[in-house]
């Protein structure tokens, strides 16, 4: 996903400390003129006026959003991407410092950002393929750009360009397109592809540090030994769950018709309760991970706070802090956060969807549970979910954080992944 987040680096420079040094109200005349021109669909003129205003006052959230819309209409995807990002960044900052500026509808802006980022990536790939013979290095760059666009979800017009570019590559790849993942696969350039089985990672046997001092139910910190096990690399997706429902004729989760859309096939399935997760894993020849297995897979053996280390979460690490489910748009395609991987290369163990584990929840279990292959208490009122979700604050993203959930809950943030005994 390095293509997807490349603009973030420029954004940090653009909004570096000291950059917002102009008094409020400066540039308002340019902003007002730009808004009027945008409403009249005079996009080039609107862009010029808004850019002039932002030069005077870079902190105006609505001006960045309007400039993004102008650039989007002009198909300047890089400009649109930069200013959607700027609007989101400034909106988040204004919420912290108590600004009186109107807040954004973040889910809508995130969706627009994803769309223009996909367009930028597709056009980057198109540019790399133009001009005759393509070097192996350019082929690699094209493949990375196409894969990153694919992960964001492609609309029909984007899908057509994606398929054209795939066919121009020196070698065709069997790639499942995220916005078109029927259970039986699809045809790209006459080549039939299949939705791949969920990849798994082997977690070797041995001890790791479990628990932390940051939560009462995470104490005491202790060394726990686990036998070797496999863990899914990704959370179970909508597309995979659709195949399961088709084959088993099991009950659909709430809002299934909303989730089971082409653009959501690579996003995690949610609205599943604990029993739903157990049944899916059993059907797949697997099982739910224990709480201890989940934590080791997430944080490794060095006692780190988050899957990626001890650095506080950012948008490069995980999907979190959104306000609305927004018909499943709040979740991101699995595997989108390269910088958020666990030590074992497992994705999304912080944010995106809470993940059901096998264990019953017991606030004091760490004080009395075994230190070898613990599986939780024999009974309880709630089950454990781990990892936080798209909705929650950074505190819930810690790998040691435990959450007590009713096993019958089917909520927008509850998903899962499976484990397997070798």
E strands present in 197-271? 200-203, 206-210, 222-226, 229-232
Q: How many CB atoms lie within 10 A of CB 103?
A: 12
Task: For residues 38 and 127, give the distance between their C-alpha atoms in angstroms, rounded to a whole number.
Answer: 29
Do 227 and 205 meet the contact criterion of CB atoms below 8 Å apart?
A: yes
Half-sphere exposure of 403 (CA within 13 A, CB side): 21
pLDDT confidence of residue 150 = 78
The whole-number mean pLDDT for each consecutive block of 10 residues of the chain, a chain of 422 residues, reads 41 40 65 92 94 91 93 94 88 56 67 88 90 82 85 78 81 43 30 51 96 96 96 96 91 95 94 96 95 98 96 93 91 94 97 97 96 95 97 90 96 96 92
Q: Using alpha carbons, select from 137, 203, 207, 206 the residue that is nearest to residue 170.
A: 137
pLDDT confidence of residue 274 = 97
Task: For residues 133 and 139, give the distance between their C-alpha atoms in angstroms, rounded to a whole number.
Answer: 10
pLDDT confidence of residue 183 = 33
> What is the DSSP secondary structure assignment for residue 212, as one 8-state letter?
-
Q: What are phi and psi of 328, to 5 degrees?
A: 80, 0
| Domain range summary for the chain, segments of one domain joined by + | 2-104, 118-193, 200-420
- Which of the following CATH numbers is that of domain 2-104: 1.25.40.10, 3.90.1710.10, 3.10.310.10, 1.10.1450.10? 1.25.40.10
pLDDT confidence of residue 392 = 76
Q: Using alpha carbons, select from 229, 201, 249 the residue that is nearest to residue 346.
A: 201
Q: Which residues contact 87 (CB under 8 A, 6 or more apart)?
A: 61, 62, 64, 65, 68, 104, 109
Q: pTM for the full model?
A: 0.58
> End-to-end alpha-carbon separation of the chain, Å?
31
Q: How many CB atoms lie within 10 A of CB 76?
A: 19
Task: For residues 81 and 84, give the distance between their C-alpha atoms in angstroms, rounded to a whole number.
Answer: 5
Task: For residues 262 and 178, give the distance between their C-alpha atoms in angstroms, rounded to a whole number.
Answer: 7
Percent helix, percent strand, percent coil in the chain, to nearest 5: 40, 10, 45
Q: Using alpha carbons, select from 326, 306, 324, 325 the residue that is nearest to residue 316.
A: 306
- Which CATH number does 200-420 carry? 3.90.1580.10
Task: For residues 384 and 323, give the distance between their C-alpha atoms in angstroms, rounded to a whole number.
Answer: 23
């Amino acid at each position: 996903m390095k293509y997807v987040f490349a603009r973030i680096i420029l954004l940090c420079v653009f909004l570096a400390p000291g950059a917002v040094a102009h008094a409020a109200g400066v540039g308002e005349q340019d902003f007002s003129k730009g808004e009027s021109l945008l409403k009249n669909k005079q996009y080039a003129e609107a862009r010029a006026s808004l850019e002039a205003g932002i030069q005077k006052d870079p902190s105006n959230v609505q001006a960045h959003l309007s400039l993004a819309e102008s650039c989007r209409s002009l198909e300047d995807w890089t400009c649109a991407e930069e200013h959607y990002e700027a609007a989101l960044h400034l909106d988040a900052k204004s919420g912290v410092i108590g600004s009186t500026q109107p807040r954004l509808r973040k889910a809508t802006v995130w969706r627009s950002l994803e769309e223009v980022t996909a367009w930028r990536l597709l056009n980057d790939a198109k540019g790399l393929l133009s001009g005759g013979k393509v070097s192996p290095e350019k082929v690699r760059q094209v493949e990375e750009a196409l894969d990153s666009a694919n992960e964001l979800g492609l609309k029909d017009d984007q899908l057509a360009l994606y398929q054209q570019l795939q066919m121009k590559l020196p070698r065709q790849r069997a790639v499942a397109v995220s916005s078109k993942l029927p259970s039986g696969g699809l045809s790209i350039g006459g080549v039939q592809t299949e939705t791949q089985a969920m990849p798994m990672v082997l977690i070797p046997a041995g001890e790791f540090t479990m628990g932390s001092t940051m939560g009462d139910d995470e104490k005491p910190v202790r060394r726990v030994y686990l036998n070797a096990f496999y863990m899914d690399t990704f959370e179970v997706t909508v597309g995979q769950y659709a195949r399961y429902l088709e084959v088993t004729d099991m009950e659909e989760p709430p809002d299934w018709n909303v989730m089971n859309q082409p653009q959501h096939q690579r996003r995690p399935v949610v609205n599943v309760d604990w029993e739903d997760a157990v049944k899916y894993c059993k059907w797949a020849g697997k099982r739910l991970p224990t709480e201890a297995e989940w934590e080791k897979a997430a944080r490794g053996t060095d006692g780190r706070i988050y899957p990626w280390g001890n650095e506080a979460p950012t948008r490069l690490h995980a999907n979190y802090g959104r306000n609305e489910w927004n018909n499943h748009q709040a979740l991101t395609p699995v595997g989108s956060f390269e910088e958020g991987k666990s030590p074992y290369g497992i994705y999304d163990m912080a944010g995106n969807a809470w993940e059901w584990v096998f264990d019953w929840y017991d606030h004091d279990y760490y004080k009395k549970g075994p230190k070898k292959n613990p599986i939780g208490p024999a009974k309880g009122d709630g089950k454990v979910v781990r990892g936080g979700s798209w909705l929650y604050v950074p505190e819930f993203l810690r790998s040691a954080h435990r959450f007590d959930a009713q096993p019958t809950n089917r909520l927008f943030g509850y998903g899962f992944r499976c484990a397997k005994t070798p």
